[in-house]
Amino acid sequence: DIICAEIPDEHEDPLAFETVLRCMIHGPCGVANPNAPCMVNGKCSKHYPKPFCNETTIDENRFVIYRRRDTKKTYKINGIDVDNRWVIPYNRDLIVQHDAHINVERCAHSKLIKYLYKYIH
């Protein structure tokens, strides 16, 4: 997969597993941290936690809904249980190579140009 939004298996890919849990988990926000920067009017402005989804699709507004399967596995991050709903989309090779948070998204909508522009200039 070029873009993934799931926690890798800790036995199949321990390096990616550790990097995702350390660098690619959103939050905590919501009830666990209502004062988080992403919180606006009591809701996460980034829409986390995302819903579980068995396959990656593009919705009617051309936004990508990434595969986030319900594996029934949770992991504690800063005392909060997280699962695939909290994973920020990433590219495995990039995050492992740079050992860093690198959000990777598929651009399928013209409104994303504005989002990308702020990172270029």
pTM: 0.88
**Residue closest to 5 by CA, chosen among 82, 115, 120:** 82
Query: What are the residue ranges spanned by the domains of the chain?
Result: 14-120
Distance CA 3, CA 24 (A): 12
- pLDDT for the residue numbered 108: 67
Q: Predicted confidence band at 11 (pLDDT cuts at 50, 70, 90)?
A: very high
The model's pLDDT over 64-102, given as tens digits with 9 standing for 90+, comes to 999 999 999 999 998 889 999 999 999 999 999 999 999
116, pLDDT greater than 80: no
- pLDDT for the residue numbered 111: 66
- Please give the torsion angle defined by the CA atoms of residues 82, 25, 94 and 107, in that order, rounded to the nearest 10 degrees: 110
